Structure 1
Amino acid sequence: MRTIAARRYSACMDAPTSAPGGGAVAHLTDRKPTVSPERLIAQLNPPPTFTDVSFATYRPDPNEPSQAAAVESCRTFCAQAVERRAGKKKLFGKREVLPGVGLYLDGGFGVGKTHLLASIYYTLAGSGDGVASGPAAFATFGELTQLAGVFGFVECIDLLSEYVVVCIDEFELDDPGNTTLVSRMLSQLVERGVSIAATSNTLPEQLGEGRFAAQDFLREINTLAKIFTTVRIEGPDYRHRGLPPAPEPLTDEQVTELAAAVPGATLDEFDALCAHLATMHPSRYQALIEGVTEVFVTDVHQIDDQSVALRLVSLTDRLYDAGIPIVASGAKLDTIFSEEMLAGGYRKKYLRATSRLLALTAAGIQA
């Protein structure tokens, strides 16, 4: 029996080598996006994949009671965030600003952490379960650090202090500079009444572990840990429930033919794409893939450079957020991070990326 990918390939064997409409197939390597400060602010909301989520649409696994408990913890956090933001009433009608609260959703891959984080955003922003409180911000960890870089530390604090909650997806501490920056930023925001919700695969007190001399920055890491109440979410990766193993890759010729038949698709050679990613800050990757319907990549192979691998992780996250399928030739996408990398300090990042790559590949062969 032929695979889905083979049937799909066979169906378009007669497709032209140019894109529908007579134009050449587009390449991500030809795109040189810029991101203005205004755009950085405008994109402080959940990615398209999570546009319509809420606490009501989260489906806890009945075999994992921690998932239902996490929903209730998130609802409680929202109520507390509203109360803290409102402040304590004083004489003459004035209100005393109360420190914000922190919630840290910790768990493995595919247990719905981002779904719950986006639900917190929509609830407090007034478009979720009805606990509207005010403006809310949603950013990846990289977007948050980039925001501080663009606006400056003090200006970034002033900007974010207007929000009732700042939601940070996939909280990471990759270097000492970011450790100090984020620790001080979140501490000051909490003092100003902003509540913080975050997701990660690493407990707060273990952030940065295995990546740099974390003991030298123990004070900053402990400060972060004190901000959050940690809620652990157990369960298997929902993205892989019932999915077969990674599909056999197509040939370069098959991928090229398929790309030509898909409106809005891009086609790139793996090494050229990786080199292009190095020319821009990861905060531009969202703009890089804007308007793309499907990503086709030829000659995929295992990566032996950590910097290249981390940039690919960032691109994978943006593709997953946007729900853009991937079709590739060369090595299987669950083999591109070496065993040595998977045993290192960025292990959880690479495993998350592998999980998402497999989900996007499955979407690609079913398209």
Structure 2
Amino acid sequence: MNASQTVALTDRNPRVAPDELIAGLVPPPHFENVSFDSYRPDPAQPSQADARDTLRDFVTAKPKQGMLAKLFGGGEKKGATKGVYLDGGYGVGKTHLLASAWHAHDKPATFGTFVEYTSLIGALGFQKAREQLSQMKLVCIDEFELDDPGDTVMMSRLMRELTDAGVKIVATSNTLPGALGQGRFAAQDFLREIQALADQFSVQRIDGDDYRHRGAPTPPEALTSAELDELAANAEGIVARDRFGELLDHLSTVHPSRYGRMLGDVDAVLWDDVETIENEGVALRFVALVDRMYDRGVDIHNSGARLDAVFTDDMLAGGYKKKYLRCLSRLTALAGREEK
């Protein structure tokens, strides 16, 4: 372990060159050594083993080759799978399986969150991003959620063009592809695009309980400021300490696709004066930060409110309910310093 060093995330605003974006689309540290064999399905939930076996078969199947295959749709039967969509609640191992697919498949392949792919398109432009991704044998998309009509149209088109180019696609989400966008924008106005997106996938449902909360239903109680001071003084490795409100303000100046790089080599975060987030845009940026922290196994310690109070009741009942519940699950795991 490194000698103790305290930094502030509010001092960090990393920049990423466009040509680094594709190279950075790999599984995060938390999933760099996972495999289908290391996935442990719940015996009480047979859909978990089914999902693992279906996905393993999908990524190890060899595509048909040749001009006739291209002219006549690859010689595949009508309804053949172009991609696999893992649908299930948070904490059932979807990202583990997604990363396992990336590790098991021939390269080149990419692995990234939905926001990382939309950021790639923003940085390179649609045509260039499509050209780059069309060179991949597999594209893995985690946390696939459509939060606005522009993303719906853009990602629907990209998925169609990638599958037409013979690229295999695996995606995970908490929402069935035909229901993406519901409760967030006027999804009925974009039914054609949403249905075209859904048509790219066969859906594999994964049932089960959140493994992170087996025996740990709530995060620990908040600490005092003096206790945070003591933790900072005695910590090993790199610790980032920030006032919670200032950190939330800072997140608005950093694109969510760069939150992982902002965390860098941080081992733990200390947040002073945690409070309930009242603004939905701020809350969604915080969710993206927690996702990247979870990827890296960053421990959390805080004063102020307990971490399960960061979202309002209206948020937990609204269109982004599943995002917020997943975030609370991950906050609990990180604050409890579980090994999962």
- Identify whether the pair has TM-score above 0.5, normalized to the shorter chain: yes
Deviations 1:124-146 (A, max 9, x none): 1xxxxxxxx33111010000000
Q: Which among 160, 164, 176 is matched to residue 187 of structure 1?
A: 160
Offset at residue 243 of structure 1 (A): 2.1
212-221 vs 257-266, which moves further: 257-266
260-269 vs 232-241, which moves further: 260-269
Please give the secondary structure, in 1, of the residue aligned with 2:199.
helix
Residue correspondence of structure 1 range 279-318 to structure 2 within 5 A: 279-318=253-292
Structure 1, gaps ≥5 residues long? 1-18, 125-132
Offset at residue 261 of structure 1 (A): 2.2
The answer for the alignment partner of 1:87 in structure 2 is: 65
Q: Which among 39, 44, 66 is matched to residue 63 of structure 1?
A: 44
Matched, 1:34 2:12: no
**Could you tell me how far apart the structure 1 residues matched to 2:12 and 2:107 are?**
36
Structure 2, gaps ≥5 residues long? none
**Could you tell me how far apart the structure 1 residues matched to 2:11 and 2:323 are?**
27
Deviations 1:13-59 (A, max 9, x none): xxxxxx967x7x31111112111113211211111100111111101
Offset at residue 89 of structure 1 (A): 6.3
The answer for the alignment partner of 1:176 in structure 2 is: 149
**Could you tell me how far apart the structure 2 residues matched to 1:70 and 1:244 are?**
26
Deviations 1:197-246 (A, max 9, x none): 00000000000000000011111100011000000000110111122532
Aligned residues between the structures? 332
The answer for the alignment partner of 1:360 in structure 2 is: 334
Offset at residue 155 of structure 1 (A): 0.5
Deviations 1:292-345 (A, max 9, x none): 111110100111100110000000000000111111111111111111001111
**Could you tell me how far apart the structure 2 residues matched to 1:135 and 1:259 are?**
42
Contact kept? 1:97, 1:193, Cα under 8 Å: no
Please give the secondary structure, in 1, of the residue aligned with 2:7.
coil
Scaled by the length of structure 2, what TM-score is found? 0.93
Residue correspondence of structure 1 range 1-367 to structure 2 within 5 A: 25-80=6-61, 82-83=62-63, 86-88=64-66, 90=68, 98=74, 101-124=82-105, 133-243=106-216, 245-262=218-235, 263-363=237-337
**Could you tell me how far apart the structure 2 residues matched to 1:227 and 1:184 are?**
11
**Could you tell me how far apart the structure 1 residues matched to 2:67 and 2:152 are?**
35
1:288 counterpart letter in structure 2: M
257-266 vs 199-208, which moves further: 257-266
**Could you tell me how far apart the structure 1 residues matched to 2:263 and 2:275 are?**
22
Deviations 1:69-122 (A, max 9, x none): 111110121134x32xx524659xx99873871100000111010010001111
> Percent identity over the alignment?
52
Scaled by the length of structure 1, what TM-score is found? 0.86
**Could you tell me how far apart the structure 1 residues matched to 2:281 and 2:319 are?**
13
For residues 96 and 123 of structure 1, do their structure 2 counterparts lie closer, same or farther at Cα, with a shift above 3 Å needed?
Answer: farther
Contact kept? 2:178, 2:195, Cα under 8 Å: yes
1:87 counterpart letter in structure 2: Q
Please give the secondary structure, in 1, of the residue aligned with 2:290.
helix
Structure 1 or 2, whichever has the larger Rg, is 1
1:58 counterpart letter in structure 2: Y
2:241 counterpart letter in structure 1: L
1:71 counterpart letter in structure 2: R
1:137 counterpart letter in structure 2: T
Contact kept? 1:87, 1:97, Cα under 8 Å: no
The answer for the alignment partner of 1:15 in structure 2 is: none
Contact kept? 2:219, 2:331, Cα under 8 Å: no
The answer for the alignment partner of 1:6 in structure 2 is: none
1:203 counterpart letter in structure 2: L
Contact kept? 2:218, 2:308, Cα under 8 Å: no
Contact kept? 1:250, 1:328, Cα under 8 Å: yes
Contact kept? 1:61, 1:235, Cα under 8 Å: yes
1:298 counterpart letter in structure 2: D
